[in-house]
Amino acid sequence: MIEPHHECCAHHGHHHELVIENLTVSYRRVLALENVSLATSCGNRVALIGPNGAGKSTLLKAIAGLVPRSSGTILWRGTAVKKWSREFAYLPQREEVDWSFPITVRGLVEMGRYPQTGWWRKFSADDTAAVDRALESLALTDLQDRQIRELSGGQQQRTFLARALAQEAHVLLLDEPFTGLDRNASQLLGDLLAKLAHEGRLVIASHHDLNTVPLLFDEALVLATRPVAFGPVTEILTPELIDRTFREPATRP
Amino acid sequence: MEIDLLTNPFYQRALATAGFIGFANGFFSGFVVLRRNALSVSALSHTMLPGIALGIFLTGALSQWNAFLGAMFAALLVGLGSVAVARGNRVEQGTALAVLYTAAFAAGIALLPKLDTRQELEHWLFGDIIAVGNADMWIAFAIGTFTLLITNLLMRPILLTLFEPNVAAAQGVPVKTMQYLVFTLLVLALVSSLQAVGCVLSVGLLVTPAATVSLLTDRTSALFWGGGLIGGVGSIAAVLLSGKFGIAPGPAIVIVLGLLFIAAYLFSPKYGLLAPKHR
């Protein structure tokens, strides 16, 4: 199932590293993220966990270049990412997407090729092949002519993953991908993310269900505006830490 | 009698203008339907009236140019104003737009008695395509061509932005620029149909064609080309029919487009009310 064109660490000796240093983001005057640092490499699945408002979505958006950073740097494969990178793909929360938009599954996946084709160039045989491969690898070939609202939640999630694959993205940034999926669909998506990581991609996802973190992810970053802990899930998900992070903050002074 | 009509230069000009405006605005209606902002288009169209009134008030005369410029100025001011107010996060854009456009409309009504061109103003409210002069026709052609050219050149970034601005921005699309651009083109398209259907009915040309197509297909590109086709053919047919039924061409255009929409709503093979249930 490994794609022939994908040149990443699964078939090379070296690792592609994502290094975030002292990332700080403020919305207007409110601090949303403060001094977040982490280093990971492709092949991993990283969970972002923390209470509501901890900055999980903000971190994903900051990596994708959707919100301006107040300070800090993001290095991908040793090069600073100024604003956005073609190798990063952002997958929005399902409720943020207008599913009644008149577009088919294939049309949505084709949008992933636009960074390659630019604004005008026609689709080449390569582009078409990339779209076919992406659909194939996420088992969407039979559904490619469906309007996107006619899909189940898991299929919708897969369509956006296919768009990211068509873009040949190496870093997948997913905002709450498991929210609203039933058990089967969750399991299927979990297997897919494992496969994508195994093929050499870096998967970073915000996640709110602590029980499933060890099953679905390799590493976790616990956030509460500031980073609380980062490391392999088995090491950092200790009861004390979870208790400390998710404890309701005192509302009265 | 009909033969006479068709050889009449006024009538020919009216048909050409109707067909072209119908096509250009029908094409653009695809974006309005995708952006789900038909209501703001309606608000903007009402803003053109006080704009025209202001144009007359300032220059003291009603001419093509000050009417066009006044309408465009007012629509841009109110539209961009609502975007700016909404950026404060306190007032939602729809709310801001409703406040600003009714205020502008009220100002227009207050201004009207001070003008002595009320009779002609009616012509801008409801349009009069038979009275289209050469200058009007060329203005409409120029605006339509410009709109078609820009939207076709920037189709991909615009579509990415309209579908999901966050994903688009993550792919490097200048989302803000695209949003302002679509908005500006929208105002231009509204102004271009002033002469044909007037400021109130111009909304019909900018919403109905693609709304009809959206009932017939899931292909995004069909919204634009299909919308253009329906807009163009529908407008020409309406002008031809309006003589027969003795109604004004402007309303006739919007009525024909409305009837086509209802037909699609009822009979669309996939989404029609009378379609066999497939789920």
ipTM of the complex: 0.83
Residue A10 lies in a domain: no
The answer on pLDDT for A248 being more than 70 is no
* Shortest CA distance from A161: residue in chain B: B167
Q: How far apart are CA A54 and CA A35, in angstroms?
A: 13
State the smallest CA–CA distance between residue B30 and chain A in angstroms. Answer: 10
Residue A67 lies in a domain: yes
Q: Final residue of a domain: which of A149, A168, A187?
A: A168
pLDDT digits (tens, 9 = 90+) for A152-177: 999 999 999 999 999 999 999 999 99
Residue A119 lies in a domain: yes
Instruction: Name the residue facing B170 among A84, A98, A120 (closest C-beta).
Output: A84
Shared domain check, A174 and A158: no
The answer on pLDDT for A249 being more than 70 is no
Instruction: Name the residue facing A114 among B34, B171, B214 (closest C-beta).
Output: B171
The count of domains in chain A is: 2
pLDDT digits (tens, 9 = 90+) for A69-127: 999 999 999 888 988 888 999 999 988 899 988 899 999 999 999 988 888 888 999 99
A98 touches chain B (CB under 8 A): yes
pLDDT digits (tens, 9 = 90+) for A60-78: 999 999 988 999 999 999 8
Shared domain check, A218 and A120: no
- Which of B36, B167, B217 is best to mutate for the A interface (most A CBs within 10 A)? B167
State the smallest CA–CA distance between residue B263 and chain A in angstroms. Answer: 20
Shared domain check, A63 and A31: yes
A114 touches chain B (CB under 8 A): yes
Binary contact (B163, A173; C-beta < 8 A): no
Angle between the A153-166 and A125-137 helix axes, to the nearest 10 degrees?
150
* Shortest CA distance from B278: residue in chain A: A150
Shared domain check, A103 and A155: yes
Residue A31 lies in a domain: yes
Write out the residue range of the structural domain in which residue A56 sits: 16-87+170-246
Q: Final residue of a domain: which of A119, A149, A168?
A: A168
Binary contact (A114, B169; C-beta < 8 A): no
Buried b (16+ CB within 10 A) or exposed e, B122-159: ebbeebbbbebeeebbebbbebbeebbebbeebbbbbb
Shared domain check, A164 and A174: no
Shared domain check, A28 and A127: no
* Tokens 């008695």, located at residue: B113
Beta partners for residue A248, in sequence order = none
Shared domain check, A201 and A187: yes
pTM metric for this prediction: 0.84
Q: Final residue of a domain: which of A116, A151, A168?
A: A168
Shared domain check, A143 and A33: no
Shared domain check, A176 and A51: yes
Residue A209 lies in a domain: yes
Give the residue extent of every domain in chain B.
2-267
Q: How far apart are CA B192 and CA B199, in angstroms?
A: 10
Residue A49 lies in a domain: yes
Q: Which fold has domain B2-267?
A: ABC transporter involved in vitamin B12 uptake, BtuC (1.10.3470)
| Whole-number average pLDDT of chain A | 87
Q: How far apart are CA B33 and CA B74, in angstroms?
A: 23
For residue A1, count other CB atoms closer than 10 A to its CB. Answer: 6
The series of mean pLDDT values per 10 residues for chain B, 279 residues long, is 68 89 94 83 87 82 78 89 80 88 89 71 76 83 92 93 91 89 88 83 92 90 94 94 87 93 91 71
Shared domain check, A175 and A164: no
* CATH of residue A194: 3.40.50.300
Residue A252 lies in a domain: no
